[in-house]
Amino acid sequence: MSPRAELPILEVETPEVTPDADRLCPTLMGGLPLTLADSQARPVRSASPYAAAWGDPPIVLRCGVPRPPGLAADSSVFEINGVAWFTEPGEDDTVWTAVDREVYVDVRVPSGQASGPVALLSVVITDRLPMISQPSASPTPTR
């Protein structure tokens, strides 16, 4: 097992922990890799135990987040390795939110990085989080 990267502790804002997050997120967190797309895991500090980060600039995962405010019934989502993702591009990063699981999971990927980390995390999410019977929006195949 390789150690966490020797980077400063990253402060991660997390939502209030829900009963569903307490029930489902520990399984996901226990399966996260120590290396993600050539970035080492780094220490985080948050109000919730359901946050993880890799590298600098950081890729940040949070489990048990609320439904994205921009997600609507007609929103486009992308299926990557069996997970339906809703994306919200920002100035510094893109937030990818898994919208087809019993809890929402978001991943912040720094601008300029491809979706590789999301593809890798999709495999863990598929293995460790149950899918809801009907996703919040219909998946659109990726190119």
Residue 134: which pLDDT band, with cuts at 50, 70 and 90? low
pTM of the model: 0.90
Question: What is the DSSP track for 23-70?
Answer: HHHHHHHTT--SEETTEEEE-EE-SSS-EEEETTTTEEEEEEEPPPTT
CA contacts within 13 A on the Cβ side of 101 = 31
pLDDT at 3 over 70: no
44-45/39-42 β-pairing: unpaired
CA–CA gap between residue 138 and residue 75 (Å, rounded): 8
pLDDT at 62 over 50: yes
Residue 140: which pLDDT band, with cuts at 50, 70 and 90? very low
Q: What kind of fold does domain 10-141 have according to CATH?
A: Protein Transport Mog1p; Chain A (3.40.1000)
- Predicted confidence (pLDDT) per residue in 85-119, tens digit: 999 999 999 999 999 999 999 999 999 899 999 99
Residue 6: which pLDDT band, with cuts at 50, 70 and 90? confident
Cα 104 from chain centroid (whole Å): 8
Let me know how long the chain is: 143
CA–CA gap between residue 94 and residue 115 (Å, rounded): 9
- Tell me the mean pLDDT in the region 65-94: 96
Which structure tokens are listed for 88?
């919200």
- Tell me the mean pLDDT in the region 71-86: 96
CA–CA gap between residue 52 and residue 44 (Å, rounded): 6
- Predicted confidence (pLDDT) per residue in 31-41, tens digit: 999 999 999 99
